[in-house]
Structure 1
Amino acid sequence: MKSRLIHKLHVALEKRFPEKRLFLRSDTETRFIRLKPETQLVAWTGGVVVVSWTIIATAILLMDSIGAGNFRAQAQRDQATYEDRLNVLSVERDTRAAEAVAAQQRFSSALDQISLMQSELLRSEDRRRELETGLEVIQANLRTTMTARRAAEDQIAALEAALAGDGTAPGGFAQSGDAAGTVDLLADALAETAAERDKIASDAEFALSHAAEMELELRLLQERNDQIFRQLEEAFTVSVEPLDNMFRAAGMNPDNVLGEIRRGYSGTGGPLTPLQFSTRGGDIDPDAARANGILGSMDRLNLYRIAAERIPFDMPVTSGFRFTSGFGMRWGRMHNGTDFAAPIGTPIVAPADGVVTFAGWSSGYGRLIKVQHAFGIETRYAHLNRMRVDVGQRVSRGDRIGDIGNSGRSTGPHLHYEIRVGGRPVNPMIYIRAGQDVF
């Protein structure tokens, strides 16, 4: 059975691959090699396998080459798109920075104008009080004059009645020995009384006209004061509310911030000496209350200015940079700051007033600077090329503290910027965005 099956298979192969002989001739003899159907099948199968493998391998290589080219092209396109986006963000950041500078200049100009308006308001209030005092004096003189006038008129009436009755002067007037002397004496008394009456009437008329002028001037002055009050109140509403929102956006309670700043200047002679509006011993009138409210807003604005200089609302890098990594998870690890990519040597500035607590090498951070600010806030600046401050040194907002570098565990020149509150890292963009919304 088995030999029969092999015979049938051999017959079938002979139909496809008939037996062939390969002759090899030399000078002395001739030999041949017999190629059986089975041998031809094996050779044909091997050739097919080799050709198929060559075609498949070539196709795979071509597909890999095409795929790699597409991937590189896609990566280049993504990189170009990313760089375009970064350029747009850089332009937008520069625009925001310019707007912040312009807003800060407008803010300073508004403060100067408010100071001038405050001085004018105080002068106007002093003038108003002087006018009120003068008006009271004039009204007192007028009442005295009117009383004297009525007394003179009563005396004249008494004299006229005495002359019309029996021709004798009442007691209090000297009498002469004859009627002519009495008449002359009465005539002189009447003339003097009439002159005094006319003078009193003239003085009263002058006092009335002058009082009317002073009342008009006082009313105009009050209207001017009311206009100044409204302008000041509107200016402080526009200036203080964005600052309240800025501190709240940074997760800080404005009242607590102002309270701590005020406690820092509790001594006399400091920049936050309480502002008072003198009422000169009298009751506080509505204008004085409004003035005190405005001065309180000025005190609040001044406290906000001091607090803003002590909290890192500003940018640590102001020119020639782009954002590369933000706060959050990155490559399976927590990234506790924001990265600013820029050429080596780009200046790094302090975003707020503070004291340098560390300046040296720190493992993966490379050259590291730590600055302690108010309210338990600490900022860190890592991978520096150069440090320009020492431990214990006080820095002010805008002071240059170092240069961007590539030290430590870094893949390229950049600044790793951190903000920590009570030792806990927070997103620096919270403070930066809060400051950009105002400044």
Structure 2
Amino acid sequence: MLNRLAYRFHQSLERHFPEQRLFLKSDTETRFIRLRPMTQIIALAGFTLALSWTIVATALIMMDSIGAGSAREQSVRQQALYEERLNTLSTDRDLRADEAARAQERFNVALAQVSEMQERLLASEDRRRELETGIDAIQETLRRTIKERDEARGEADRATLALNEQSGGATEMGRARDAIATLEILTDALGLTAQERDEMLAEAEIAREETREIADAKRLVEQRNDLIFAKLEEAVTISMEPLDNMFREAGMSPDDLLDSVRQGYSGQGGPLTPISMSTSGGVLTPEEMRANAILGGLDRMNMYRIAAFKLPFAMPVKDSFRWTSGFGYRRDPKGAGNRMHEGTDMAGAYGTPIFATADGVITHAGWDSGYGRLVKIRHDFGIETRYAHLSQIRVEVGQRVSRGDRIGDMGNSGRSTGTHLHYEVRLDGSAVNPMTFIKAAKNVF
């Protein structure tokens, strides 16, 4: 029964795949190879499988190439947009700083004008008081002179009567002429006194007019100063808000950070000092209080600038790259199960320049087990950054670097599956997510 079934099966195969013979002829003999139906089926199946695998592999390679190209183009576009936004924000920040500097200069000029106006006003007030005192003295002298004139006229009349009674007409005529001469002298003195009084009154009126003009000019200066103060306050507020947000999003208290910067400040010039124009040590004027508030804001911005260069807000890679692995638990690429990934991976071309993300001191520059070629930088405020899997190290231990200095090249050293940078940020020895700092600075730098 089995032989019959096998024979029928063989016959059906013969109809579709008849037996073939491959003849091999040489100079001395002729041989042939028999290709049975089953052999042909096996060969056809193998060829079909190989062809199918080739088609599938080619499709996978093409899809991966297309996807990688799209990801690179998208990364390039995002990088270009990011750099354009950085340039725009940097230009806007410089414009704000220039505007604040110009406003500060205008404020200083206005303060000098106000001081000059105040001195002129005080001098005018002193002169007005002197004129008023002189007018009062002249009026008092005039009243006393009029009184003495009246008394002299009365005495002259009484003397004239007495002489007339004693000496007769001739003597009376002489006395009358003397009295008339005396009256003329008194009249001339009174005229001069009245003229001096009128001149004093005219000078007092001129002084009052100058006082009113100075008061009007002072009001204009105060209005202009108020406008300058408002512009300065607005500029400081607009510039301060993104800086405050940046440090808060990075998980750091702005006040504590600025206190640390002030304690360790060693630059030339020192922090900005509040002004005081009060010579008597009394209460500050509203203008002085507003000026001190603006100076405090500018001082805070200066401290922020110092802190920003000491914290890792910059990008370690400036050329084209793609994010390959983030911070947190992940499946180990070497097959060691789920493990904590304490940094962020950025994949790019072999030899891509790697830059320091903040000012600091190199504490390690060499091979370190799974990190491969590793650079460690110690920054202020208990922060450390690490740059691993480098192909080349360009710094030495103890060297001080600034933000943007080249410290090495991207590579594949150590425990790595491909060319990339493993970037870590540690705060007081504990690893934190580097993206916290990178994202916090995206709207400022």
1:420 is matched by which residue type in structure 2?
R
Give 1:155-166 correspondences, 5 Å limit: 155-160=141-146, 163=149
What's the offset of the Cα at 1:250?
A: 0.8
Residue of structure 2 in register with 1:427 after alignment = 433
Residue of structure 1 in register with 2:116 after alignment = 130
8 A Cα contact 2:356 2:404, kept in partner: yes
Q: 1:137 to 1:41 in 2, by over 3 A?
A: closer
Residue of structure 2 in register with 1:381 after alignment = 387
Residue of structure 1 in register with 2:364 after alignment = 358
Which of 20, 44, 61 does residue 8 from structure 2 map onto? 44
8 A Cα contact 2:375 2:388, kept in partner: yes
Give 1:231-310 correspondences, 5 Å limit: 231-265=231-265, 271-281=269-279, 282-310=282-310
TM-score normalized by the length of structure 1 = 0.81
Q: 2:58, 2:410 → 1: CA distance?
A: 31
8 A Cα contact 2:353 2:410, kept in partner: yes
8 A Cα contact 1:313 1:432, kept in partner: yes
Q: 1:41 to 1:397 in 2, by over 3 A?
A: closer
SS of the residue 2:441 aligns to: helix
SS of the residue 1:323 aligns to: strand
8 A Cα contact 1:163 1:169, kept in partner: no
Q: 1:248 to 1:51 in 2, by over 3 A?
A: farther
8 A Cα contact 2:278 2:284, kept in partner: no
Unmatched segments (≥5 aa) in structure 1: 1-36, 171-175
8 A Cα contact 1:169 1:186, kept in partner: no
Q: 1:324, 1:250 → 2: CA distance?
A: 22
Report the count of equivalent residues: 396
1:111 is matched by which residue type in structure 2?
A
8 A Cα contact 1:272 1:303, kept in partner: no
Q: 2:189, 2:410 → 1: CA distance?
A: 104
What's the offset of the Cα at 1:371?
A: 0.3
- Identical-pair percentage: 42
1:396 is matched by which residue type in structure 2?
S
What's the offset of the Cα at 1:74?
A: 4.5
Q: 1:94 to 1:41 in 2, by over 3 A?
A: closer
SS of the residue 2:403 aligns to: coil
Q: 1:252 to 1:38 in 2, by over 3 A?
A: closer
What's the offset of the Cα at 1:188?
A: 2.9
TM-score normalized by the length of structure 2 = 0.80
What's the offset of the Cα at 1:297?
A: 0.5
What's the offset of the Cα at 1:133?
A: 3.1
Q: 1:418 to 1:179 in 2, by over 3 A?
A: same
SS of the residue 2:381 aligns to: helix
Q: 1:286, 1:38 → 2: CA distance?
A: 115
1:276 is matched by which residue type in structure 2?
P
Residue of structure 2 in register with 1:418 after alignment = 424
What's the offset of the Cα at 1:355?
A: 0.5
Q: 1:177 to 1:398 in 2, by over 3 A?
A: farther
8 A Cα contact 2:373 2:389, kept in partner: yes
SS of the residue 1:224 aligns to: helix
1:305 is matched by which residue type in structure 2?
R
Unmatched segments (≥5 aa) in structure 2: 14-35, 157-175, 333-337
- The answer to whether residue 355 in structure 2 is matched with residue 349 in structure 1 is yes
Q: 2:55, 2:345 → 1: CA distance?
A: 31
1:379 is matched by which residue type in structure 2?
T
Give 1:115-264 correspondences, 5 Å limit: 115-160=101-146, 163=149, 167=153, 178-264=178-264
Residue of structure 2 in register with 1:94 after alignment = 80
SS of the residue 1:317 aligns to: coil
What's the offset of the Cα at 1:166?
A: 6.1
8 A Cα contact 2:272 2:295, kept in partner: no
8 A Cα contact 2:138 2:193, kept in partner: yes
8 A Cα contact 2:75 2:321, kept in partner: no
8 A Cα contact 1:377 1:419, kept in partner: yes
Q: 1:397 to 1:201 in 2, by over 3 A?
A: same
Residue of structure 1 in register with 2:169 after alignment = none
Q: 1:97, 1:42 → 2: CA distance?
A: 76
Residue of structure 2 in register with 1:408 after alignment = 414
8 A Cα contact 2:377 2:384, kept in partner: yes
What's the offset of the Cα at 1:362?
A: 1.3
Q: 2:136, 2:269 → 1: CA distance?
A: 60
Q: 1:169, 1:367 → 2: CA distance?
A: 123
- The answer to whether residue 63 in structure 2 is matched with residue 77 in structure 1 is yes
List per-residue Cα deviations over 1:252-309 (Å, max 9, x = no partner). Answer: 11111111111112x7x85433512122324201111100100110111011000000
1:97 is matched by which residue type in structure 2?
E
List per-residue Cα deviations over 1:183-208 (Å, max 9, x = no partner). Answer: 23212321321232122112112211
- The answer to whether residue 399 in structure 2 is matched with residue 393 in structure 1 is yes
Q: 1:263, 1:169 → 2: CA distance?
A: 90
Q: 2:155, 2:251 → 1: CA distance?
A: 95
Q: 1:392, 1:168 → 2: CA distance?
A: 110
1:359 is matched by which residue type in structure 2?
A
Give 1:101-112 correspondences, 5 Å limit: 101-112=87-98
Q: 1:60, 1:48 → 2: CA distance?
A: 21
1:108 is matched by which residue type in structure 2?
D
Larger deviation, residues 348-357 vs 413-422: 413-422
Q: 2:205, 2:180 → 1: CA distance?
A: 37
1:324 is matched by which residue type in structure 2?
T
What's the offset of the Cα at 1:75?
A: 5.1
Q: 1:78, 1:385 → 2: CA distance?
A: 26
8 A Cα contact 1:169 1:182, kept in partner: no
SS of the residue 1:252 aligns to: coil
2:105 is matched by which residue type in structure 1?
S
8 A Cα contact 1:311 1:353, kept in partner: yes
